[in-house]
Amino acid sequence: MRRRYFWIAFFCLLAGLVAAPQADEVRTRVADGFDQPVGRPDAEGYYTSRGFLSYHPGEDWNGLKGGNSDLGAPVYSIGHGYVTFARDARMGWGNVVLIRHVFMEKGTLQTVDSMYAHLDKILVREGQQITRGQQVGTIGTNRGMYIAHLHFEIRKNLNIGLNRSAFKRDLVNYYKPGQFIAARRKLPGSGRSAMIPLNTYNLGRIFESPVNASSPETKAAQEKSPFKKSVPARGSGYRVNRFEDP
């Protein structure tokens, strides 16, 4: 008789584990400051070919030598954080990494997303903890669509994700990356950790199949992806909002 209760309890526990919803927050290191995403830490050897504009809520980083001289050059995380997206978003984006950072400002914890787009290679996976200055990928052309450069954004609004066209490209939703970083090179809270929210942006039908099959790292990362369940079947209305401008 006892044994039967044990098995009932055991299967209830098992069922509970299987049915458990995805975590909606995770602990990560509080950023102790931010650096530029290229030419670590001060963007040495790079310039912004396009800044933050009404239609372009980010900055484009190019190598000083011009052309595709920066193709394959390292792209770094601007600070400690957690990878919420790392895959090929196709269309105007190409390979994209999104990192969520928590930092201390005026005594309160703030959260932002940094975005690294058109990457030639992705070197991190979704769900990975990242340290300041860690390489997240390399500068790319998005399959020859652009001259090699890094498209870089910093978002206040954690709901944007890959669905940029649904949000105003203003300073309510975004920071000007250069200004944001310059004002926050060294921050308090070093050594601390804090919770950040997860699943704040909806991939739904916007994003379908990650297709960078050429990269085994990317493939392995996709297997572990927290978004795997939300990815619809191949061929069902794939759509990503294309950049009006790279």
Tell me how far apart the alpha carbons of residues 178 and 35 are, in angstroms, rounded to a whole number: 10
Nearer Cβ to Zn ion (60/113): 60
Tell me how far apart the alpha carbons of residues 83 and 199 are, in angstroms, rounded to a whole number: 12
C-beta separation of 192 from 29 below 8 A: yes
What string marks each residue from 40 to 79 as x (binds Zn ion by CB under 5 A) or -?
--------------------x-------------------
Which residue's CB comes closest to Zn ion?
151
Number of residues that bind Zn ion (CB under 5 A): 2
Nearest approach, Cβ of residue 150 and Zn ion (Å): 8
Distance of CA 176 to the CA centre of its chain: 17
Could you tell me the CA-to-CA distances from 215 to 1, 75, 87, 113 in Å, in that order?
A: 54, 17, 11, 25
Nearest approach, Cβ of residue 53 and Zn ion (Å): 9
Number of H helices, E strands in the chain: 3, 13
Q: Is 169 one of the binding residues for Zn ion (CB under 5 A)?
A: no
Nearer Cβ to Zn ion (132/151): 151
Nearest approach, Cβ of residue 62 and Zn ion (Å): 10
Nearest approach, Cβ of residue 70 and Zn ion (Å): 14
Nearer Cβ to Zn ion (143/205): 143
Nearer Cβ to Zn ion (99/115): 115
Among 40, 125, 151, 155, indicate the residue that binds Zn ion (CB under 5 A). Answer: 151
Nearest approach, Cβ of residue 195 and Zn ion (Å): 31
Could you tell me the CA-to-CA distances from 94 to 136, 164, 172, 201, 211 in Å, in that order?
A: 14, 14, 26, 18, 10
- DSSP codes of every residue in 123-145: ---TT-EE-TT-EEEE-B-TTTT
Could you tell me the CA-to-CA distances from 48 to 36, 183, 199, 228 in Å, in that order?
A: 11, 18, 31, 34
Q: Enumerate residues 111-150 that contact Zn ion by CB under 5 A.
A: none
Q: Enumerate residues 176-235 that contact Zn ion by CB under 5 A.
A: none
Question: Applying CB under 5 A, which residues contact Zn ion?
Answer: 60, 151
